[in-house]
Structure 1
Amino acid sequence: MSGPPSGADVPDGLRRGLGVTDAVVIGLGAMIGAGIFAVLAPAAKVAGSGLLPGLALAAVVAYCNATSSARLAARYPASGGTYVYGRERLGDFWGYLAGWAFVVGKTASCAAMALTVGLYAWPDHAHSVAVAAVVAVTAVDYAGVRKSALVTRVVVAGVLAVLAAVVVAALTSEQADATRLGVGADVTAVGVLQAAGLLFFAFAGYARIATLGEEVRDPARTIPRAVPIALGTALLVYTAVAVSVLAVLGPQRLADTTTPLSDAVRAVGAGWLAPVVRTGAAVAALGSLLALILGVSRTTLAMARDRHFPRALAAVHPRFAVPHRAELAVGAVVAVLAATADLRGAIGFSSFGVLVYYAIANASALTLGRTEGRPPRGVPVIGVLGCLLLAFALPAGSVVSGVAVLAAGGAFYGLRRGITS
């Protein structure tokens, strides 16, 4: 089994213009985004004082997924991520299922990010703002991945500055109390697992690096370097923010708020920072949305090339070298969801789909040989088990809807194979 060439541009393919820094920034743009502004409160609601153990568990699973994905992406440097890896290592159906799980799960993520823009920027008209954000971001992505990387770099820098201000204001205040970080009697194993599954929503952005494999220079070197740098940076940031907010608000107040970072700065007497936090959250969500639409459109491109989706979606723009029809189609679907969806429901559904996607990635990595860059055996094994455990520990509504959508995708695959055979 062999992947496409890993050097220069491939015929009818995308342009290889991204280096290590660009790849890291795109991954960070998807991770250091609205997740940290939106997911802490629902995670605290299910975990209570077990929020930090939930974050640690999510980080372990994310590390296994990132390691497996990086090794596979270096071996198969094509657009599509685990759709390609599953197809090449496990068979056509598993590749298709991974691609389907990714597209539907990350489309829900896109809607969640767009809604976060609306909720922070103009709460009374959140859905209208969300749709406008989708249109604007799709236009930027359409202009080319290098322009997207440049915009994402600016967004990441701004968001990191806002988060640093929140952490410093919280941890240097008299209201910060280290005893609020302790694990109390309210913690349950199910609560920690559910929190880890929800927090995984914020970690999963490193997949953008792998799904852009056809647009990265020297992918065998670039991707394995970029993924751990992006993931490690995100983990440090998430830990600092979670600790500072918990130390100020405590798990109960954190669980009851919808704007935890804004509440934290108000609680320490830095109310002047609240508008900055709101702006930072909106900008972060835009950055995540930018990177997410990049990733979903590239997987759509790969599946369209194999006729799992309409072949027209495989077109690459002759000037901008992007899958322009796939980007427009994804943008249209996300705009509809952003006009109608619920934020917390979108997060849970997205987490289920993406965890299934990474379970298949880890299973694919298990089949790599020594000469193919196989990771240590324990990494993909823990990754598979961790992904499935977190997926089915999510709130029941997320699990039921996720299973139903995956089953519908599987039925469509079977019907299509029956018609074409």
Structure 2
Amino acid sequence: MNDKGPATADAPKKPMTVLQASFIGVGAMVGAGIFALLGAAGAVAGPAVWLSFLIAGAICALQGYSFARLGSSYPSSGGMLTYLAKGFGEGHITGIVSWLFYMTGAIVAAMVATSFGGYASAVVANDNPGWAVAFAVGLVIVMTLLNIVGSTAVARVQSLIVKVVLAILSLFAIVTIMNWDPSLLNPAGYPGLREIISSVALTFFAFLGFGVITFTAKDLPHPVRQLPRAIYLALAIATTVYVAVSLGVFGTLTADQVVEYGATAMAEAAKPTLGQAGYVLMVITALFSTAGAVNASLYPSTGMTRHLAETGQFPRAFGRQIGRRAPVGLVVMALLTIFMITALDLNSIASLGSAVALLIFSAVTASHFKTYRETHASLIVLVVALVATLGTLVVFTMTTLVDEPKTVIAFVVILSAACLLEFVWTGVRDRGSPRPASGDQADSR
């Protein structure tokens, strides 16, 4: 398979538009994170959380520039992993990051599905833990079946979910901002620059899903033009929503109240004007946003594993289908997600996705330095993007991971597992038949 180039006039129509592709990214970003982040970020940055979101969005825009230039030059079902291979080749670095990305996708999907289960259980089962797990597993199964149906169904459902979430969050932002107390956002009450920068590492978590958009290239009619537009549009939407919501919340409640209320801070901020309906709206938003995030987390697995199987980075079985319909890569990720939901304490490693994603983003941008002449990217922008991303990772490690030893242990375990899988698989592969040569692989030599 060679999905590198743009579609020609005679090419068959593909099932996804720029807006739908951007909604895949928005759905992955605007998940449960916004609910949990406000309290955690407020404890560090106080009423300046909106500024933290703005800075985090700017850093992601720099990363988005790198991804957009790469996507315009190398549109592929392998997404950002194709970009990595273009710079570092099909060696161990690309293999380790590929396994890392695949496992992290399952971890993030499990974490978000667990949040969905918690909200659903609170509504219909009085916070029963058993029902929470059942709802989480049920969501993964439903979204897996949706992805088996095809990318057209994924795009349509995701568009519906994102539209509902954005409509409710927009209403929330408008209502709270119209009735806010400007004195609560007085810059005189902001903490120092160090605290604001530290909170950026937390708010960056809310943007991690935008990399999923790179995997939509296979479903876009003209990915060379459309992929960059989808990336920039998704980041613009997410940044606007995050800034507006944080202004509304911190303009209605004091920073101490936001920290105290935690995940329910948005519901509490809506009560002065919307009453109990505000609480109901936030629960609905949480259910829709977490469902969309699980859908978006599972979506890349099909094209990604097929591409990696063709290039020899993954076993060939990952490129096959069960019953001529269900992609093996998708089914394995779904099963891995369900295992994590039922067997792991995901709350104790809640920051793992952030740490791994920052590492992967940094690796992709670093690989871009070897191909920037082909992509016609600005070297200065790439340097700034890499420094900003690595800086965020360093700050995140110093301010968050130091207080989460279980997350550090989980990070070491998953990194070790990725290395083990890569070296074991390449050993088996090299002793067996020659690696298959795909269009993408041949071009990267």
- TM-score by length of structure 1 reads 0.88
Read off the aligned partner of 2:422 and give its amino acid letter.
Y
Read off the aligned partner of 1:284 and give its amino acid letter.
S
Question: 1:291 offset after TM fit, Å?
Answer: 1.0
Equivalent residue number for residue 85 of structure 1: 83
Question: 1:216 offset after TM fit, Å?
Answer: 1.8
Which of the two has higher C-alpha Rg? 2
1:218 matches 2:222: yes
Question: 1:342 offset after TM fit, Å?
Answer: 4.5
Equivalent residue number for residue 359 of structure 1: 362
Q: Distance in 2 between matches of 1:178 and 1:121?
A: 36
Question: 1:282 offset after TM fit, Å?
Answer: 0.4
Contact 1:50–1:183 (CA<8 Å) still a contact in 2? no
Equivalent residue number for residue 140 of structure 1: 146
Question: 1:67 offset after TM fit, Å?
Answer: 1.0
Equivalent residue number for residue 111 of structure 1: 110
Equivalent residue number for residue 406 of structure 1: 415
Superimposed CA distance per residue, residues 5-24 of structure 1 (whole angstroms, 9 cap, x where no aligned partner): 33279xxxx99432222212
- Across the aligned residues of Structure 1 and Structure 2, the Cα RMSD in angstroms comes to 2.8
Rate the CA distance shift 1:78–1:251 in 2: closer, same or farther, 3 A: same
Contact 2:372–2:379 (CA<8 Å) still a contact in 1? no
Contact 2:305–2:314 (CA<8 Å) still a contact in 1? yes
Contact 1:33–1:159 (CA<8 Å) still a contact in 2? no
Question: 1:49 offset after TM fit, Å?
Answer: 4.0
Equivalent residue number for residue 212 of structure 2: 208
Contact 1:75–1:220 (CA<8 Å) still a contact in 2? yes
Question: Match for 2:176 among 170, 175, 179?
Answer: 170
Equivalent residue number for residue 93 of structure 2: 94
Equivalent residue number for residue 229 of structure 1: 233
Question: What count of residue pairs does the alignment treat as equivalent?
Answer: 412
Residue identity over aligned pairs, in percent, reads: 25
Read off the aligned partner of 1:405 and give its amino acid letter.
I
Equivalent residue number for residue 247 of structure 1: 251
Rate the CA distance shift 1:318–1:69 in 2: closer, same or farther, 3 A: farther
1:276 matches 2:284: no
Equivalent residue number for residue 437 of structure 2: none
Q: Can you give the 5+ residue segments of structure 2 that lack an aligned partner in the other structure?
A: 432-445
Read off the aligned partner of 2:416 and give its amino acid letter.
A
Q: Distance in 1 between matches of 2:339 and 2:33?
A: 21
Equivalent residue number for residue 342 of structure 2: 339
Superimposed CA distance per residue, residues 107-161 of structure 1 (whole angstroms, 9 cap, x where no aligned partner): 2221121122122222313222111111111111110001110001111111111
Superimposed CA distance per residue, residues 72-131 of structure 1 (whole angstroms, 9 cap, x where no aligned partner): 112221122222111121222232233233223222221121122122222313222111
Question: 1:209 offset after TM fit, Å?
Answer: 1.6
Q: Distance in 2 between matches of 1:399 and 1:73?
A: 32
Rate the CA distance shift 1:269–1:237 in 2: closer, same or farther, 3 A: closer
Rate the CA distance shift 1:348–1:98 in 2: closer, same or farther, 3 A: same
Contact 1:181–1:250 (CA<8 Å) still a contact in 2? no
2:263 aligned counterpart, secondary structure: coil
Rate the CA distance shift 1:332–1:213 in 2: closer, same or farther, 3 A: same
Q: Distance in 2 between matches of 1:34 and 1:162?
A: 14
Equivalent residue number for residue 39 of structure 1: 37
Equivalent residue number for residue 132 of structure 2: 126
Q: Which moved more, 1:54-63 or 1:311-320?
A: 311-320
Q: Which moved more, 1:106-115 or 1:193-202?
A: 193-202
Equivalent residue number for residue 60 of structure 1: 58
Rate the CA distance shift 1:78–1:84 in 2: closer, same or farther, 3 A: same
Contact 1:18–1:217 (CA<8 Å) still a contact in 2? yes
Equivalent residue number for residue 386 of structure 2: 384
Question: 1:376 offset after TM fit, Å?
Answer: 1.8
Rate the CA distance shift 1:402–1:49 in 2: closer, same or farther, 3 A: farther
Q: Distance in 2 between matches of 1:280 and 1:365?
A: 37
2:181 aligned counterpart, secondary structure: coil
